[in-house]
Chain A
Amino acid sequence: MIAALREAAIAAAVAFGLFVLLVGLKTEPGSAGTLILRERFGDVALLCGLVFTGRLLMALWRARRAAVEPGAPTRLAALTGRLGPWLAPALLATALLLPWLPGIGRSELDLGILVLTYVMLGWGLNIVVGLAGLLDLGYVAFYAVGAYAYALLAENFGLSFWICLPLAGILAAFWGVLLGFPVLRLRGDYLAIVTLAFGEIIRVVLVNWTELTGGPNGISGIPRPSFFGLPFSMGGEEGSFAAVFGLEPSPSHRVIFLYYLILCLALLTNWVTLRLRRQPLGRAWEAMREDEIACRALGINLTATKLSAFALGAMFGGFAGAFFATRQAFISPESFTFIESAIILAIVVLGGLGSQLGVAIAAIVMIGGFELFREFDEWRMLIFGGVMVAIMVLRPRGLVGTRTPTIALGERRKISAALVQEGRG
Chain B
Amino acid sequence: MHHERPESGLAYALQQLINGVSLGMIYGLIAVGYTMVYGIIGMINFAHGDIFMIGAFASLIALLLLSAGGLMEGPAAILLVLVISVAITGLYGWAVERVAYRPLRGSFRLAPLISAIGISIVLQNFVQVAQGARPKPAEAVISGGIELMREGDFTVQLTYVQILIIALTLAVLAIFTVLVTRTRLGRAMRACEQDRRMASLLGIDTDRTISLTFVIGAALASVAGTMYLLRYGVIDFYIGFLAGVKAFTAAVLGGIGSLPGAVLGGLLIGLIETFWSAYFSVQYKDVAAFSILVITLIFLPTGLLGRQEVEKV
Binding site for B on A (CB under 8 A): 14, 17-18, 21-23, 25-29, 33-37, 129, 135, 137, 182-183, 185-186, 188-190, 192-194, 196-198, 200-201, 204-205, 207-208, 291, 293-294, 338-339, 342, 345-346, 349, 353, 378-379, 381-382, 384-389, 392-393, 396, 421-425
Contacts and interface: CB of A to CB of B under 8 A. Distances in A.
Contacts of A14: 91, 94-95
B294 A392 contact: no
B43 A189 contact: yes
Given A25-B61, A193-B297, 13 more contacts: A17-B91, A25-B65, A27-B131, A35-B137, A183-B298, A186-B301, A194-B297, A198-B294, A201-B287, A205-B287, A382-B129, A392-B100, A392-B118
B114 interface: yes
A387 B87 CA distance: 27
Main secondary structure of the interface of A (DSSP, over half): helix
Interface centre among A194, A197, A421 (most CB of B within 10 A): A197
Nearest to A390: B118
Contacts of B245: 193, 196-197, 200
Contacts of B95: 14, 18
B130 A293 contact: no
A37 B107 contact: no
A356 B127 CA distance: 35
B119 interface: yes
Contacts of A17: 87-88, 91
B60 A27 contact: yes
A383 to B, nearest CB: 9
B117 interface: yes
Interface of B: 43-44, 54, 57-58, 60-62, 64-65, 68, 84, 87-88, 91-92, 94-95, 99-100, 103-104, 107-115, 117-122, 124-134, 136-139, 241, 245, 248-249, 252, 283-284, 286-287, 290-291, 293-294, 297-298, 301, 311-313
A26 B130 contact: yes
5 contacts: A14-B91, A21-B65, A22-B58, A22-B126, A389-B118
B181 to A, nearest CB: 27
A25 B287 CA distance: 36
Contacts of A379: 125, 129
A207 B284 CA distance: 10
A385 B122 contact: yes
B198 to A, nearest CB: 18
A14 B60 CA distance: 21
Contacts of A196: 245
Which of B65, B92, B107 has the most chain A CB atoms closer than 10 A to its own CB?
Answer: B107
A154 B61 CA distance: 51
A35 B109 contact: no
Given A34-B139, A185-B301, A339-B121, A208 B114 contact: no
Contacts of B291: 197, 201
A419 B94 CA distance: 30
B44 A393 contact: no
A208 B283 contact: yes
Given A185-B301, A393-B104, A291 B91 contact: no
A294 B311 CA distance: 11
Contacts of A200: 245, 286, 290
Nearest to B120: A385
Nearest to B98: A14
Contacts of A188: 109-110, 113
Contacts of B119: 385, 389
- Kindly list the 8 A-B residue pairs having the minimum CB-CB distance in the complex, ordered from nearest: A385-B121, A388-B118, A385-B122, A389-B118, A382-B125, A392-B115, A197-B290, A381-B125
A236 B125 CA distance: 48
B64 A21 contact: no
Contacts of A293: 311-313
A385 B249 CA distance: 24
Contacts of B99: 389, 393
A190 B312 CA distance: 17
A388 B283 CA distance: 33
A197 B104 contact: no
A22 B293 contact: no
Contacts of B139: 34
B89 to A, nearest CB: 10
A291 B109 CA distance: 12
Nearest to A420: B108
A207 B287 CA distance: 12
B297 A35 contact: no
Nearest to B100: A389
Given A22-B54, A29-B134, A197-B245, A396 B111 contact: yes
Nearest to A292: B311
Interface centre among B58, B100, B138 (most CB of A within 10 A): B100
Nearest to B87: A17
B68 A37 contact: yes
